[in-house]
């Protein structure tokens, strides 16, 4: 069939039309997600069963797989690839890698002036012909950073009462008294709070870094630090889910908190960074078992488990990928600077649990 010249569409017009329609397409796909809930729930349950490390998956009583939080948990549980990048982000390289889960900074350069907009996040979530990508925003909860938008405001240029001592390993980072209500206001309870900005931009959730700062406070004699950090995470999650019930909350290296009652019910995921490799080999058996046991327990509770390591050789990458495959965890092998795309390690169901 020959299309009359008067009916042809100029490519430039088609591209403009697609750009204008993209937010509607993404919004429609998100709105239609509840219709697929039964299938999502079954797929999520099957995956959790496949990666279990114990006799059964201990999903909390009353957990509704078809609720907004249940659907977002199912999407996270069914993801196969992860990418973590905090510097020199660009959409072209992310599109080429095409991860199912993307963890990034909420700003292109860390500053408030270049914070990602709602359009930016929609663009990062969108994938042609595929379900939307899960995009999580970085939030440091145990340390303040002097390049953030809040530094000269709520942090009073470094003189705020919640600030403690600088981190000698990361210039510009300052340990905080994270139980201080003034710090909570910076993170989530204030008018210009970090998490509120993330919610406004339309992120799927947050990646909470420096959770393990609680360990340094314990070493300094503050025995209640793990409990106070667990309280902070729970309060942050409650606040965010009042606005976005399906909001995902992933905590980095929360091992010192793992025994806190109710913590696993609050978390959507746990990311263990730098815990399973020692150089280019797996960590010694006792240390590796101490890491894997709480992660397996979290997986049995329906919490998604992610691993990030920085192997420098093919042998190190192979050992890391083999562990990820045997455990069924979502894994990423990157550079320590997290300034470019590394190696996405596709997740496969735990083989020992297959029939």
Domains of the chain, residue spans: 79-348
pLDDT, residue 254, reads: 97
The whole-angstrom separation of Cα 30 and Cα 20 is 17
Given a contact cutoff of 8 angstroms between Cβ atoms, the answer to whether 214 and 142 are in contact is: yes
pLDDT, residue 91, reads: 87
Q: What is the mean pLDDT of residues 21-38?
A: 46
**pLDDT digits 0-9 by tens, 186-200:** 999 988 999 999 999
The whole-angstrom separation of Cα 155 and Cα 21 is 41
Q: Of 192, 205, 354, which is closest to residue 268 (Cα–Cα)? A: 205
Q: What is the mean pLDDT of residues 49-72?
A: 59
Greatest mean pLDDT among 154-158, 323-327, 349-353: 323-327
The whole-angstrom separation of Cα 250 and Cα 271 is 7
**pLDDT digits 0-9 by tens, 212-237:** 999 999 999 999 999 999 999 999 99
**Is residue 207 helix, strand or coil?**
strand
Q: Is the pLDDT of residue 73 over 80?
A: yes
Q: Of 53, 67, 36, which is closest to residue 131 (Cα–Cα)? A: 36
DSSP secondary structure string, 162-198?
Answer: TEEEE-TTSTTEEEE-TT-HHHHIIIIISTT-HHHHH
pLDDT, residue 57, reads: 43
pLDDT, residue 282, reads: 96
Q: Of 144, 241, 216, which is closest to residue 183 (Cα–Cα)? A: 144
Given a contact cutoff of 8 angstroms between Cβ atoms, the answer to whether 103 and 84 are in contact is: yes
Q: What is the mean pLDDT of residues 83-95?
A: 89
| 79-348: CATH superfamily | Aldolase class I (3.20.20.70)
Q: Of 35, 79, 92, 73, which is closest to residue 348 (Cα–Cα)? A: 79
**pLDDT digits 0-9 by tens, 279-302:** 999 999 999 999 999 999 999 999
Residue 88 banded pLDDT, cuts 50, 70, 90: confident
The tokens for 308 are: 């990030």
Which pairing describes strands 82-85 and 163-166: parallel, antiparallel, or unpaired?
Answer: unpaired
The whole-angstrom separation of Cα 124 and Cα 277 is 31
Q: Is the pLDDT of residue 14 over 90?
A: no
CA dihedral 100, 327, 267, 91 (to 10 degrees): -20
pLDDT, residue 38, reads: 54
pLDDT, residue 4, reads: 28
H-helix segments, the chain? 11-32, 37-50, 68-78, 91-97, 118-125, 181-184, 194-201, 213-219, 225-243, 263-266, 285-300, 314-327
The whole-angstrom separation of Cα 215 and Cα 262 is 19
pLDDT, residue 153, reads: 82
Residue 42 banded pLDDT, cuts 50, 70, 90: very low
Q: Of 103, 46, 99, which is closest to residue 249 (Cα–Cα)? A: 103
The whole-angstrom separation of Cα 258 and Cα 291 is 11
Q: Is the pLDDT of residue 78 over 90?
A: yes
The model's pTM is 0.83
pLDDT, residue 114, reads: 80
Q: Is the pLDDT of residue 274 over 60?
A: yes
- Report the sign of the C-alpha dihedral through residues 186, 192, 195, 196, in that order: positive
C-alpha pair distances (Å), 248 with each of 201, 239, 284 = 14, 12, 32
Given a contact cutoff of 8 angstroms between Cβ atoms, the answer to whether 50 and 349 are in contact is: yes
pLDDT, residue 63, reads: 56
The whole-angstrom separation of Cα 327 and Cα 292 is 9
pLDDT, residue 112, reads: 66
Q: Is the pLDDT of residue 134 over 50?
A: yes
Q: Of 86, 187, 174, which is closest to residue 136 (Cα–Cα)? A: 86
Q: Is the pLDDT of residue 18 over 60?
A: no
Average confidence score pLDDT of the chain = 83
């Amino acid at each position: 069939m020959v299309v009359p010249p008067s009916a042809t569409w100029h490519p430039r017009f088609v591209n403009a039309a697609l750009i204008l329609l993209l937010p509607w397409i993404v919004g429609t796909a998100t709105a239609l997600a509840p219709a697929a809930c039964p299938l999502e729930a079954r797929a999520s349950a099957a995956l959790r069963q496949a990666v279990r490390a114990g006799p059964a998956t201990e999903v909390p009583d009353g957990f509704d797989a078809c609720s907004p939080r249940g659907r977002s948990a199912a999407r996270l549980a069914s993801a196969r690839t992860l990418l973590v990048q905090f510097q020199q982000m660009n959409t072209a390289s992310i599109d080429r890698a095409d991860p199912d889960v993307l963890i990034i900074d909420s700003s292109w350069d860390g500053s408030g002036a270049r914070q990602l907009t709602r359009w930016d996040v929609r663009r990062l979530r969108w994938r042609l012909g595929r379900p939307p990508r899960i995009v999580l925003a970085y939030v440091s909860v145990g340390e303040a950073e002097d390049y953030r938008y809040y530094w000269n405001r709520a942090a009073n240029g470094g003189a705020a009462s919640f600030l403690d001592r600088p981190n000698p390993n990361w210039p510009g980072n300052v340990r905080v008294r994270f139980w201080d209500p003034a710090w909570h206001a910076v993170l989530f309870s204030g008018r210009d709070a970090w998490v509120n900005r993330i919610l406004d931009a339309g992120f799927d959730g947050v990646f909470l870094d420096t959770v393990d700062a609680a360990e340094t406070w314990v070493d300094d004699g503050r025995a209640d630090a793990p409990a106070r950090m667990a309280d902070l995470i729970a309060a942050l999650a409650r606040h965010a889910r009042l606005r976005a019930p399906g909001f995902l909350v992933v905590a980095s290296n929360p091992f010192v908190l793992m025994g806190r009652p109710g913590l696993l019910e609050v978390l959507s995921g746990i990311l263990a960074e730098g815990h399973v490799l020692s150089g280019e080999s797996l960590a010694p058996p006792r240390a590796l078992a101490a890491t894997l046991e709480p992660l397996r327990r979290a997986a049995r509770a329906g919490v998604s488990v992610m691993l990030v390591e920085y192997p420098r050789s093919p042998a190190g990458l192979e050992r890391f990928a083999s562990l990820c495959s045997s455990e069924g965890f979502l894994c990423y092998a990157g550079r320590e600077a997290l300034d470019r795309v590394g190696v996405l390690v596709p997740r496969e169901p735990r083989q020992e649990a297959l029939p």
